Amino acid sequence: MTESFTYVNGILHAEQVDVARIAAEVGTPCYIYSAERLRHNYKEFRDAFAGMDIHIHYANKANPNLAVTRVLAACGAGADITSGGELERALAAGIKGQNIIYSGVGKTEVEIAAALKADIYQFNVESMPELHAINKVAAQMGKKTAVTLRVNPDVSARTYKKTSTGELGTKFGIDMVQLEEAMALFKTLPALDFKGFQVHIGSHVYDYEPFREAFLKLAELTHAWRARGYTVERLDLGGGVGIPYDGQSLAPFADYARTVRETVGNLGCQIAFEPGRRLVGDAGILLSRVTYDKQGHSNRFLILDAGMNDLIRPAMYEARHSIIPVKQSGAEQTALADIVGPVCETSDLFGVDYRLPGVGTGDLVAILQAGAYGAAMASTYNGRALIPEVMVSGNQYAVVRRRIAIQEQIDWESVPDWANVATH
């Protein structure tokens, strides 16, 4: 638990706001974010690299909420985007094009044109066809644009299989074998301005050794291509720094910073970072109410009003979040329970064998570490609303995205006349 979510007189507070009050006024389930925690995380990241020429581009996909993005932007963050939609979101949150980096393997020509129009800082390019596409669109628009090549360093991030991106055989980046050919293209594609290299080896990387391996490869590439007459001015180290989920411990962030300094700190390059989870992960909780305390034949289940459609990480990555009662109780240790949602899938399971003293039907619980890839990955599966998102700062709170209820979703759809024809 972070200092931003603590018990005051036995009741969980988000900063100075009683979360039971938010539950009563906004309803459950809902996400709650701490603005102060966002600021703290940004500052910790920035200060760890004091004295270096760094740019921090918040990976918007971790939590694209406008208010979240704005709080980080106000601290000085730019954005790392992965789609034209995120470009619009970053701009809407007040981030200038010159502070936006565009990553992703499948940028379409329409998206590329929109990014060029916004005069973004840099494209991180992942393939040769993409180099041709950006060159073509930029030339049509009479522009020259900054490009770094995302390389696939073939290192294992040693994290969830589904969030590893730096090994050969994943779809990400240009592998070392093809780099020669990609670099040669810069001589024939005049609308591209080669700036340097990027790596992003995966997400929720909690052992910093793979970063060292990847950054050393970047340093090697920098020396090698400078020796061949290329100017390498920018290195983009991607995101991926993990946070402690339930029961995990993590080396201090200072160790990551030291890894950066030791590997690429003395190359005279400007260093960019694309942190997502590290900035927002522990700044959010998912607040939920127990609908039923069900004693099955062999297991006890606490069935929540939040489900996998609201927070898919446990089902998708087998991630384990800390889950705690909103009201501390003097109750004796209660029986272990599996914490599940209402969705009709066996994988709608937040985790097994949690002990939540005093929690039963009707009580509130908080799922911690829910600020990253929570609301961002939510769906309406099982006819469910998109739940509200709330932000707290000091003793005030605001609903920063309202509930998108079912009637509104029904209004998105339409039924053609011929749907009424019966079979015969």
Ligand X SMILES: *Cc1c(COP(=O)(O)O)cnc(C)c1O
- Per-residue tokens: 285: 């909780």
Of residues 150 and 384, the one with the C-beta less far from ligand X = 150
- Which CB, 274 or 293, lies closer to ligand X? 274
Using DSSP, state whether 392 is helix, strand or coil. Answer: strand
Side chain identity at residue 242, one-letter code: G
Eight-state DSSP code of residue 61:
G
Tokens in use for 69? 């993005």
Least spacing, CB of residue 233 vs ligand X, in Å: 20
Nearest residue (CB) to ligand X, 34 versus 82? 82
344 is catalytic: yes
Q: Which residues bind ligand X (CB under 6 A)?
A: 59, 61-62, 80, 82, 103, 200, 203-204, 238-241, 274-278, 372
Residue 193: closest CA among 243, 231, 163: 231
Nearer to ligand X, 124 or 334 (CB): 124
User: Least distance in Å: CB of 141 to ligand X?
Assistant: 24
Which of these is catalytic: 30, 75, 269, 344?
344
In whole angstroms, what is the distance from residue 85 CA to residue 92 CA?
11
Q: Determine the Cα–Cα distance for residues 319 and 324; give it in Å rounded to an integer.
A: 16
Q: Cβ of residue 61: shortest distance to ligand X, in angstroms?
A: 6
- Those residues whose C-beta lies under 8 Å from the C-beta of residue 329, and which sit 6 or more positions away, are 357, 358, 359
Which CB sits closer to ligand X, 286 or 372? 372
CB of 79 to ligand X, least distance (A): 11
Question: 174-181, long-range: CB within 8 Å, 24+ apart, which pairs?
Answer: 174/125, 174/126, 174/127, 174/128, 174/149, 174/150, 175/151, 176/151, 176/152, 178/128, 179/149, 179/151, 179/221, 181/128
In terms of CB distance, is 278 or 321 closer to ligand X?
278
Q: Which of 203, 257, 195, 216 shows the shortest CA–CA distance to 56? A: 257
Residue 335 burial class via C-beta count within 10 angstroms: exposed 0-12, middle 13-18, buried 19 and up: exposed
CA distance 16 to 32: 13
Q: Give the C-alpha separation, 361 to 85, whole Å.
A: 40
Closest distance between ligand X and the C-beta of residue 145, in Å? Answer: 18
**Smallest gap from residue 171 Cβ to ligand X (A):** 11
Q: Which residues are known catalytic residues?
A: 344
